[in-house]
Amino acid sequence: MDDLLEALARLSERLEHLESRVSALEHSSKSAASRPSPATAPMSATPAAEPIALSQDGGVFPVVGKAMLGIAGAYLLRAVAESGSLPQWVIVALALAYAGMWLLWAARVGANIPFASAAYAVTSALILAPMLWELTLRFKVLPAAATAGVLIAFVAVASALAWKRNLAPVLWIANLAAVFTALALMIATHDLAPFISALLLMAVVSEFAADRNRWLRLRFLVAPAADLAVWILIYIDSLPESARVDYAPLRSAVLLTLPSVLFVIYGASVAIRTIWLHERITIFEIAQTVIAFLLAAFSWFWFEPADRVGLGIFCLFLSAACYLVAFVRFDRLRERRNYWVYSIWSALLLLAGSFLCLPPLLLALLLVVAAIVATVVGVRAGRLTLEFHGLLFLAAAAFVSGLLEYAVRALAGTFPSAPGWMVWLVAASVLLCYAIGGRFPGERWNQRLLRLLSAILAVSAAATLLVSALVWLAAVGMTPGASHVAVIRTLITCALALTLAFGGSRWQRIELVWTAYGTLAFVTAKLLFEDLPHGQPGSIAVSIFLYAVALIIVPRMARLGSQRGGSGSSSKN
C-alpha cells in the first residue's frame, strides 16, 4: 500500500510538472505573438504564422497535449481500480465525474477554436466508453441497466451543452460513442432490453432536435442503430429457447413494447414535421417509418399471434387517419410528395388491416364497397389517386373472392365448376367501376395508365362471364368437351377484340384499342399452347378461322370507328 501511494505521488508530481511546462509554453507563445514585428522584415511574418498557430492556446500541439493528459488521468483511475485501494462505487463516481469534466470543457471552449472542442469531446468519449466496458464486463461493478443509464445521461448532457451554441462536433462525438458502445455491450452482455431502451431514448433526442431543424443528419446515425438493435431483439427471441440460453429472458410485454416504441417515435416525428411544421417528407423519413412499422407489426404478428385482430384494427384506424391527412390537410400541388406518400400508406394499411381482421367473405365485400366508394369519390372530386385505390381494392377483391383463379381456369386450361355468388358480385363490381371511372378526363400518362388497367380488368371479367354463360348454354343440349370449350373461348375473345377495337376508336378510348390488340395476343398464345397441342382437327380449323377473321377485321374496325366518330362530330357541329 505504501509503494502504491509513493507511485501515485510521483505520478502526480510529474503531471503537475508537465502541466506547468505546457502553461509556460502557452504564455511564451502569447507574448511572442503580441510583440510588434520589425518593420524591416515583413516577409518573415508569413512563414512564421503556421508554427505560431500550432503553438497557440487553440493550436494542435497544446490541445493534443491536454487531451493526452486526460487519457493519462484515465489510466491512473484504472490503476487505482485494479489496486482495490478505494471502494468500487468511489471509482465509478470519480470516473463518471472525470469523463463529464472533459465533456463540459469541450462545450466551454471558444467557438473560434472548434478543433479544441472536438478533441476534448473525443477525450471524454475515449474515457467513458472503455471505462463502461470494463466496469460492466470485467469488474462487474455496473449492471447493464446502470450502464445504459450512463450512456443516456452522457448523450443528454452533451445535447444540453451543445444546444445553445450549436456545437455539432460535441453532439456527434457523444452520439457516436454512445451508439457503438450500446450496440457492443448489448451483444457482449447478452442483455438486450436496457441498451435498446438507451438507443430509443437517443432516437427521441435526435428527433426532438430534428423537429427544431437542428442536426438533421444525426438521424442517419441513430435510426439505423435503433433499427438494428430491435431487429436483433426480434431475431434472438424468435429462436428456440435452446439456442438463446445465454440471453436474459424477456417478457412478451417487453418484446412488443420496444418495437412499438420505435414506430411511435418515428411515426410521431414524421407527423409533426409534415402536418404541423409543413415540411416536405424526405426519403429517409419514408424508409425509416416503413422499417419501424414493419418491425413493430412483425413483433406483434410473431410474439402475439392471438391478437392479430387488434393489429388489423390498428391498421384500419391508421389508414383512416392517413386518408384524412392526405385528402384534407395536404394540397396536391404544393405538397405533392406528402400527398402521395400518405395516400399510398392509407391504401396499403387498409388492405393490411382488412386481411388481418376479417374473414374471406366479409373481406371481399368490404373491398368491393371500398373500391366503389373510392371510384365514385375520385370521379366526383377529380382525385386520380382515389381511382387508383379503387383499382387496387378491386384486384384484391378478385383475389380474395376467387374471381382471379376462376378467370384463369375459365379462359385457359380445364374449365372450372360453377363459382359462388361472390365471384359474380366482384365481376359485376369490376364492370361497374370501369363504367364509372373510365370517364376520368386527361391525356397524361398516369391517366392513360389508369384507364388501361381498368379496361384490362373489366375485359377479363367480361370475358369470364361470357365464356361461362356460353359453356353453360351449350351444356343444355350436349356435353361440351375440351375441344368445344376451346372453340367457345376463341369465339368470345375474338368477338371482344372486334368490339373493343370499334368502340375504342369510335368513342376515342385508346385504352380499349390497346386492350383489343392485347386480346389478339392472348388468342395467339391460346392457339399455340391449347388448341394445336390438345384440340381436334375440326375445332382447330374453326379456331384458326375465327382468329384469322379477327386479325383482318380488328384494324379495319378501329379505322371505321374513327371515321364514324369524326363524321358524327362534324355533323353535330
**Domain end residue (candidates: 189, 208, 227):** 189
High-pLDDT (> 70) share of the chain, %:
85
Same domain for 151 and 2: yes
Same domain for 131 and 90: yes
pLDDT in tens, 111-131: 667 788 888 899 999 999 998
Mean pLDDT of 76-91: 78
Confidence of residue 190 (pLDDT cuts 50, 70, 90): very high
Q: What angle do CA 287, 288, 290 make, to 5 degrees?
A: 65
What pLDDT shows up at residue 265? 97
Same domain for 443 and 497: no
Number of domains into which the chain is organized: 3
Query: What DSSP designation does 142 have?
Result: S
What pLDDT shows up at residue 46? 42
pLDDT in tens, 203-234: 999 999 999 988 999 999 999 999 999 999 99
Mean pLDDT of 194-204: 97
Helices (H) and strands (E) in the chain, counts: 22, 0
Res 2 pLDDT > 60 = no
The total of other beta-carbon atoms located within 10 Å of residue 84's CB is 10
Assigned C-alpha cell, 474 = 351449350
Same domain for 90 and 165: yes
Range picked from 93-102, 117-126, 388-397 for highest mean pLDDT: 388-397
**Domain end residue (candidates: 158, 189, 220):** 189
Q: What Cα–Cα distance (Å) separates residue 364 from each residue in 282, 307, 394, 402?
A: 35, 22, 9, 10
Same domain for 184 and 67: yes
**Domain end residue (candidates: 124, 159, 189):** 189
Residues 6+ apart with CB under 8 A from 377: 383, 386
Name the least confident of 343-357, 358-372, 436-450.
436-450
Res 538 pLDDT > 90 = no
Assigned C-alpha cell, 495 = 368477338
Global confidence as pTM: 0.80
Res 42 pLDDT > 70 = no
Confidence of residue 567 (pLDDT cuts 50, 70, 90): very low
Res 21 pLDDT > 80 = no
Q: Which residue has the higher pLDDT, 563 or 475?
A: 475
What pLDDT shows up at residue 62? 79
Same domain for 559 and 499: yes
CB 268 within 8 A of CB 290: no
Closest CA to 162 of 152, 149, 175, 150: 175
Same domain for 105 and 2: yes
Same domain for 178 and 72: yes
Burial 172-192 (b: 16+ CB within 10 A, else e): bbbbbbbbebbbebbeebebb
Q: Which residue has the higher pLDDT, 104 or 437?
A: 104
CB 35 within 8 A of CB 28: no
Quick check: is 179 in a domain?
yes
* Domain membership of residue 72 as a residue range: 1-11+58-189
